[in-house]
Amino acid sequence: MPRVLAIAAHPDDIEFVMAGTLLALGGAGWELHYLNLSSGNLGSMQWSAKKTAQVRRREAKEAARVLGAHWHAPFCDDLEIFYDDRTLRRLSAVVRAVDPAVVLTHSPQDYMEDHMNTSRLAVTAAFARGMPNYRTTPPRKPVASSVTVYHANPHGLRDGMGCRVVPGVFVDTTSEADVKRAALACHRSQKEWLDATQGMDSYLAAMEEFSREVGRLSKKFTHAEGWRRHSHLGFCSQDADPLAEALGRRVRRNPAAARALERGA
């Protein structure tokens, strides 16, 4: 059974931009793995950091259960996801233990550093999967299999400077929309926090509108998630595209992204 590992920064990030694709792969027979690097300890206006982390841990475990995914424990805190030796060795151990054929992670360009650092860490941890002289924490043997890394849409489809980020492929998540919403609803502690700090109104409605917006961009699907495949060098064959292979007609390539690549944009 092929395995997919979703690596996100905070509890509820997977549900916002990755869960539909996870569910689609699960329906295609893949084994699902779910990892938020951060405990989410700062995501409350009323509780201590310790209690917030405990609440968000329970919520994330419940969301992973709804998605049918194996939950992996976080090992960072909010605003402390750094591209450093300690974090990279911890994440590399998870990557080796899961040995995924696909890694789903954040966009390299996003609106906050935790997301972008998570993206960098996920890429390097995947790259180091087969290096016998690289020591992970805890120790895990290197793996020789190939892996394809896909980057999700940034929040609002724009980078931190407001520039548009164009997905390379779209995955149809229409049939997964209800379960995706149910998984996000598990993060009950986040409604008040997001309303107060980011003006998102209902985070469930915000996720659904974003999903519909990506669907409109696809010009084919009602709900969709957008992805950009990382360079194949050091990871997989040049033409590897396991999302398309697994999901078939539920994947649509974006001609606009292909034209941008040809122009070197």
Give the pLDDT of the chain (265 residues) as one tens digit per residue.
999 999 999 999 999 999 999 999 999 999 999 999 999 999 888 899 999 999 999 999 999 999 999 999 999 999 999 999 999 999 999 999 999 999 999 999 999 999 999 999 999 999 999 999 999 999 999 999 999 999 999 988 999 999 999 899 999 999 999 999 999 999 988 877 777 676 665 788 889 999 999 999 999 999 999 999 999 999 999 999 999 999 999 999 998 776 655 565 5
* Cβ pair 106, 152 in contact under 8 A: yes
Please state, in angstroms and rounded to a whole number, the distance separating the CA atoms of residues 265 and 150. Answer: 19
By C-alpha distance, which of 94, 134, 142, 145 is closest to 118? 94
Assign domain 3-263 one CATH number from 3.50.30.50, 3.40.50.1100, 3.10.100.10, 3.40.50.10320: 3.40.50.10320
Ordered by start, the domain boundaries in the chain are 3-263
Please state, in angstroms and rounded to a whole number, the distance separating the CA atoms of residues 262 and 252. Answer: 18
Across 98-147, the runs of DSSP E, i.e. the strands, are 102-105
**pLDDT attached to residue 256:** 76
Please state, in angstroms and rounded to a whole number, the distance separating the CA atoms of residues 33 and 247. Answer: 18
Q: Which residues contact 189 (CB under 8 A, 6 or more apart)?
A: 43, 44, 52, 55, 56, 59
**pLDDT attached to residue 159:** 93
Residue 5: DSSP 8-state:
E
**pLDDT attached to residue 188:** 87
Place of tokens 């180091």: 128
Q: What letter represents residue 189's amino acid?
A: S
As beta bridge partners, residue 104 has 6, 150
Place of tokens 């792969």: 25
For 88, list phi and psi in degrees, rounded to 5: -65, -40
Instruction: Please give the angle made by the CA atoms of 247, 240 and 171, to the nearest 5 degrees.
Output: 30
